[in-house]
Amino acid sequence: MSIAITEKDLPASLTPEQAVEAAYSHELADIASKLVRGLPVLVECDKELAPYIYKNVRDRLRQQKISCLLLNGQQQNPPAGMPTGLIGTMIAQLRDAVRGVVSDRRVVAMPHLDLLTTSQGGLTGEAREVIPLLYENPEVVWLGFKDPSFPLPKVIENLFPHWVGFLGTARTRLRHLITQKESRKFGREFSPWQLYKYVSGVNAVRLRKLLSTLEGEDYPADPKRAYTQVRQATLSGAMEIPSVDLDKDIGGYAKLKQRLKAEILDVLTKRDTTTDPDQIARLEELIPRGMIFWGPPGTGKTYFAKAIAASIGAAITIVSGPELKSKWVGESEENLRQIFHKARQSAPSIIVFDEIDSFATARGTYTGSGVEHSMVNQLLTEMDGFHKDELVFVVGTTNFMESLDPALLRPGRFEFHIHIPYPDEDDRRDILKIYDKKMRLGFSAEAIEYAVRRTGDNYSTPTGTPFSGDHLNALCRAVARLRMREDLQGETTPKLVERGLTEFEERVELDDKDAAMVAAHESGHFLCAIFCPHHAPPEKVTIQSDMPWSPFFTAFKHDKRRIGHSRNELLDILTVLYGGIEAERLLTGDVSTGASGFGNPRSDLARATELASIFVDTLGMSSLAAPLRTFRDKDGRREVLSGSQAEAIDRQVNTLIVECQARAAAILAKHKDDLIRLRDELLEKKTIEGERVAQIIADLRAKYPKDVGAPGPAVPPLDGPKQAQAEKEKQAVGRTPTDSANGDS
C-alpha cells in the first residue's frame, strides 16, 4: 500500500469545526462517553483549540439529552450588584451552577482553570473561594480545560479522575486536514506523511490557519518554499533551526560522523523517502530518541547536536541543567515538562540538556535538596511518553558519564553513548583548515602542519589540558587579531602561529648555571630512551617551553593504540626516568631538585617509585610468587600485610630501583661524549625536535648498532641472591642510590 494520495482524495474545503472532528473524533467520543456516565474529565489543550472541543462535546451531549453550562466569565446585561471582571463573573456563575436548582442532567464546563493558579502552580486568592464550591455538590459533572503552559494544583487535579490530552494530530488523520488547493503548494506528488514530519505537534485549528496562509505557485517543481513556511510557522519559544553542516562546519572525527550518519541520519532519510507504511513503521522502531555526548570540555558536543538538527531540519533548544532547578516545590519538574511540550509542538526537534549531570546523577547519591531525584523521574516520564511517529530527540552532554543515573542509559532512553574526545592529529588538521577558510587567515601548508604539531600530545593548554576544538578556534582568532593589528596581507607563517599561542605568556628565564643543569637533565632522558630498545623513541626535547607550567621537558612518541606494557617496557621506562638525575651527576658532579620536583607527584622520582611498587605488588612481575590478588585495596593503597611480606616487597622494590638507576648511569657513562654534544646543542638551540631528532637517532644507530639496532639485555628477574646482594650493598653504603638522589635533591 502506498502512502501517496491524489488531489481528488482530499477535501475541497474545511471549516475549523470539521477539522477538529476529523482530527480528534476518537478522543472527542471518549470524552462525551465519560461525561454521559457522570465521570468528570480534564482536557489539556491549547487555548485556541478549547472552544472547538467544547462545541463538539456539547453537540454530542445534546444528542444524549444532556445540557452543558459554560462558565466562561461572560454575561450580557448583568443584574445590579453582580461582580464585574472575568474572575468575579466566573465565581458567581460557579456558585449558581453548584447551588442552583437543576431539574435536568447537566455538565458544567470550566474553560479557564489556569486563571485560578499562580505561575508556580499555587492557588490564587480567588481560587481559595472556588475550591470549596468545586467539591460542594458531588452531583455536578465537571468538564475542565487546562492550558499546557500552566500547572494545576493537586486539589484541582484530583477533581478529575480522567485526563485527556490534545497535542498535535495523528499521522493517519493528516490527509483529512489539508484541502486540495493547499496540497498544490507541495507539488504534484504530495505526501501527507512527508508533511507530517513538520506538523506532528501542531493542533488541528492552528494547522488549518497555517495551511490556509501558504504562499507560492501551484505545483512547484521544488516544494521547498512551502515546507520552509510550514517549518518557520511551527517554531515556538526558544526553538531555532541551526545552520551547522556536519561535514563542512565540523572538522575531523570521521568515525563519529560515520556512526551518526549510519545510525540516525541514514535511517531518517530512508524513512522520508519510502512509500510503504509498514516499512516506515519498522524504520521508526530503529530510530534512537536519546543520545549522550560525553567527553572533555570544548570538544564540540553541543555543536554535533546542532549539526544533527540541521541535517534533518529539526528545531533545537539548548537547556542548561542548573537553570532548570528551582527553589519552589514542583517548579523544576514543571520546567522540564514545559520544555518537552514546546519541543513536541515544534517537532521535528532536538532538546539538548547541557551539563545533564548537574541534575541527572545517579539517584541515591544526591547531596543537595533532593530535587534532582524528582527531576530524573520527570525526565524519564517525558521520554517514555514519546510517540514513535514524533521526531523529538533528546541529547545530554556531560563531562562525567560515570555519574549519570543508570536508568537514563538503558536502551529506549539515552540509548547512544557517544564519546567525543580531544581531537587527534588528523582531526586538528581538518579543524584548522575549516577555521582558516572561514576567517581567511591564509595559512601556508607549513603553518598548518606546525599548528597541528604545536597543539599535539606533547603540548598542553595554559590549564594543563590537551588542545580541544575550542582551543584551536581561540588560536585562529588570536592569529586573526595579529593580522588585523599589524595589517598583514601575506600568508600566515609558523612564526605567526607561535605568536598567536604564546605572545602574552610569561616564560621561565634560566641563568647559565641553571640552563646547563636543566640541559644535562633533559639530555639524559633523551639519550637513555634511544639506548633502551623497549622504550618509545624521543621526538622532542626543550629547555625553553612555551608552556609556563612545564618550562622544560622531553617528549616521546605515543602510540594511542597501545593498551598495556610488557615487563621489559616497564623496566626501560624506569631506566629512562632515572636518566635525568644520572646525567646531572655525570656532567656536573651534583644533582638538582629537578628529579623530585619538590614533591610533585608527577616528578621523575615519584613516578619511578610508584611504577616500581606497582611492578612488584600489583603486576606480579617480580620474583615474588604471583599473588592471587594484588597487595592493594580498591583505592590503590597498600593493604595491611604481615611484617615479613611487607619487607619482602620493599626489598624487591628497592632492588629494582637500584638496578634501573645503575643501568641508566652505565648507559650515560658509556656514551658520555654524545651526551655532552647533545647538551651543548640543546643549550644553543633551546629546542630540538622534528627532523633533527630523527637525524640524531639515525646517527647513533649507525654509530652504535649493537646498542641501538638490536634489543639490549633486559633486567633479569629478581631472585634471592640479588636480593641478598642488594641488602648487603645497602648495609655497606648505608643508603641506596635512590636515597642519595632524594637526599641530594
Active site residues: 522
Cell representation of residue 504: 602574552
Q: Residues 6 or more apart from 239 whose CB is under 8 A from it? A: 315, 316, 317, 342, 343, 346, 349
Backbone angles phi, psi at 500, to 5 degrees: -60, -30
- Give whole-number Cα distances, 472 to 171, 443, 462, in Å: 45, 14, 13
Is there a contact between 115 and 79 (Cβ–Cβ < 8 Å)?
no
Please measure the distance between the N-terminal and C-terminal CA atoms of the chain and give it in whole angstroms. 83
Question: What amino acid is encoded at 245 in this protein?
Answer: D
Q: How far apart are CA 167 and CA 44, in angstroms?
A: 8
Q: Which of 339, 348, 273, 346 is nearest to 311 (CA)?
A: 348
Q: Which of 660, 666, 584 is nearest to 616 (CA)?
A: 660
Q: How far apart are CA 233 and CA 226, in angstroms?
A: 11
Q: How far apart are CA 253 and CA 469, in angstroms?
A: 11
481: part of which helix (H) or strand (E)?
helix 469-485
Q: Give the largest CA-CA distance in the chain.
A: 116
Q: How far apart are CA 374 and CA 269, in angstroms?
A: 37
Is there a contact between 574 and 612 (Cβ–Cβ < 8 Å)?
yes
Q: Residues 6 or more apart from 551 whose CB is under 8 A from it? A: 507, 508, 543, 544, 545
Is there a contact between 460 and 466 (Cβ–Cβ < 8 Å)?
yes
Backbone angles phi, psi at 305, to 5 degrees: -60, -40
User: What region, left, alpha or beta, does residue 23 occupy, with left being phi > 0 and alpha being psi -120 to 50 degrees?
Assistant: alpha
672-685 vs 643-670: helix crossing angle, rounded to 10 = 80
Q: How far apart are CA 284 and CA 427, in angstroms?
A: 33
Is there a contact between 554 and 541 (Cβ–Cβ < 8 Å)?
yes
Residue with cell 462545541: 55
Q: How many helices (H) and strands (E) does the chain have?
A: 29, 13
**Strands in 298-388 per DSSP E:** 315-320, 349-354
Q: Which of 178, 168, 98, 182 is nearest to 140 (CA)?
A: 98
**Strands in 597-731 per DSSP E:** 687-689
By residue count, the chain amounts to 745
Q: How far apart are CA 455 and CA 307, in angstroms?
A: 25
- CB atoms near residue 525 (< 10 Å): 24
3-state secondary structure 269-310: HHHHHCCCHHHHHHHHHHCCCEEEEECCCCCCHHHHHHHHHH
Cell representation of residue 430: 581538518
Q: Which of 202, 160, 120, 131 is nearest to 35 (CA)?
A: 160
Q: How far apart are CA 591 and CA 70, in angstroms?
A: 94
Rg for the chain (alpha carbons), in Å?
A: 37
